Each structure stands twice: as structure tokens, then as C-alpha cells.
Amino acid sequence: MWTTAYAMPARARDGVRVLRLRPSPEVLRLLKVPTALHEGGGAIVETRDAVELGDRVDIEFEAPGHSTVIASGVVRRVVDGVGTAPRSVHVQIAKSHAHRVRRMIELAAALAGSSSSSSPDAVRTLRLRANPQLLDVLSTSRAPDEGGSLVVAWRGAKDSGQRTQVELSFGPMADEIVLAATVQEVRHDNRRSVPTARLSIAAAHRHRVRYVVEVLEGLREANARAHRRVDVRIPGTWWLGAAAQPQVFEELSRAGTFVHTLRPPGIGSEIPLQFESPHVGQVRIPAEVMWISRDPRRSGFGAKFRVRKRSVADRIADLMEHEASPRLAWR
């Protein structure tokens, strides 16, 4: 019943913390209507404010031209973010406010309709071949809010601020890399028919930029994978022995996922993973630790699914279909 929302800085009202959702079409997938008569709905709100289990909170949403809608709830779970990332707060909405959750979704749907009509292609795709010449135009960045930059001649570049999904191909035998980027500048030259664009790559994909550069410089081999990875934002749990470890899964393929943790188990360890998707439901999958990352900016491990039933494989496919979103990296 859970999905993810993003909150403005919180404030308190009569002892109840207030989390305001940013008015955008994204709210359409941020809130989930109740699926049973005894439920009021739920949300996972990302915030940097101090929120504890059992805290009463009010979730506010105000669409332009409409009155503010407020849904009250209780914090049922708090998951600390990795590094400097905000914490994820699971809020259970009161049963009496189920109609308010539905109203928020109606307003968000109206926003999505007006947004799509004015910008039918909000995220454009730029496909490039990952060859040594790419090193001349692709670079990593040390800025905390940028993962790298790319300067390229591109007919699809229209205006600054344009969101772009950059797909880099290493050939048919290696996994393609997808980067979330934003056009920072578009330059037109009378001597050329194609404009030159400078793209800023999302900070969340800094490790992917570093991987591409290392492959092109010959420092490592391109990963040979049979399954494409997608960006997701699915709450769930993995277990280390009997200890449950809350997790928000951010990458997913048909073969496995990456798990963020500062204390990864050993390679070869068998662990159960559980995904809690608002669209697909609860999916539990056995997995094995295949490799470990000690990078402090991305500590964790790669887990390979051990799928023995066709029904489980179908549920994984459903997760990828319903939860994949190219917009997640721009958060």
C-alpha cells in the first residue's frame, strides 16, 4: 500500500508535524488510495527533519487554484538514508481521511493532464555509442550536486532545463548505461545546423559516469549482463540472519538488485529480499550476494535473484514494468 512522496521542510501545528507535498504531477504516483475498508491509504515521505515512530503528522497538498487538502496519519516506520540522503518516513493515513487521499490524487491527475498537454515529451532520450571519443566530451564532477557533464551536438536539444535520458551503448555484449541529465546550455552556430548542448548529469548517477570513464580508459571491462537495469524506488526489507534490514531499493533488473548498507554480508551469502510495491504488492525473492562495494558514497552489495518458479519471475517483470521511472534520478 506504500509509495514514495517528497516533502518540503516540515513545520509543527498544534504539536502535529506538517509535511507539505510539492505541487507537481508526480504526486499522482506518490499517494496510494486504500485497498480495504479499514485503511485510509499510505505514503512514504522523504524528509531531513527529525521524525520518530508513532509521531502524528499531517500531509498537505495544495494544487494551484484549489484549497489545501490535509490528510492526517501516524508514522509507522522510519528508514535512514544512505550517506547524506534524506530519511524515508512511512505514514499510515487515518481511515477517516481516505477521501482526502483520493482528492489529492484527483488534483494531481489534473496537474498531470495540463503538464502533458503543454509538454508531451518532458523527458527526451539521447543515444550515444560508448567509444574512446566519448572521453573528449564526457567528464566526472566533484560538485556535490552534479554527477558529471556531457557536451554534445544534438538536434533534440531545445532549451535549458530540458530533462534528458542519456543511453550509452558498449555494444551488444555489454550492459548499456542510462544517465539522467538536464540540459544546462544550448549553443547555436550559424556554420552548423545542429546545436551544441551542455548536459549536467544527476549526482545520483556519479558512480555510473565514473564506471563509463574507467571502461573507456581501459581500467576495467564493461559488465556483460543479460538484463537491463532500471531506476526504481521500492521500499522493502532484506534479512541478515534473523535481523530485518529496512531498505529502499533503487536499481532493479530481472537478474538482481543493489542493496545499500554499511555492513554488507560476505560474498556467497544467501539472503531473502522483500519488495513492497504499491502496484504489484509484496514480492519475496531469495538472493545471493555476488559482489560488494566499499565505496563510502555507495556502500552495499549486488544481489542475484535465485528464481526457481515462473510465478516469481513474472512478479519481477511486473515490478520492472510498473515501478521503473526515468525521473527518479532528478529528485
DSSP SS3 for 29:
helix
- Provide the mean pLDDT of the chain: 80
| Whole-angstrom distance, CA of residue 258 vs CA of residue 251 | 6
Nearest CA-CA partner of 330 in 156, 188, 201, 187 = 201
The rounded percent of the chain whose pLDDT value lies above 90 is 23
Question: Could you say which DSSP state residue 193 is in?
Answer: S
Look up the pTM and report it. Answer: 0.45
CA distance 219 to 216: 8
Parts of the chain belonging to CATH 2.40.10.220: 4-118, 123-216, 230-330
Q: Which residue has the cell 509543527?
A: 12
How many residues are recorded in the chain? 331
What is the CATH topology of the domain spanning 4-118? Thrombin, subunit H (2.40.10)
Contact 216, 135 (CB under 8 A): yes
CA 179, 180, 184, 189 torsion-angle sign:
positive
Q: What is the per-residue pLDDT for 3?
A: 38
Q: The domain at 123-216 falls in which architecture? A: Beta Barrel (2.40)
Residue-level pLDDT at 318 = 87
Q: Which residue positions in the chain have pLDDT lower than 50? A: 1-10, 116-121, 327-328, 330-331
Q: Answer yes or no: are the C-beta atoms of 307 and 287 closer than 8 Å.
A: no
Give the CATH H-level superfamily of domain 230-330: predicted glycosyltransferase like domains (2.40.10.220)
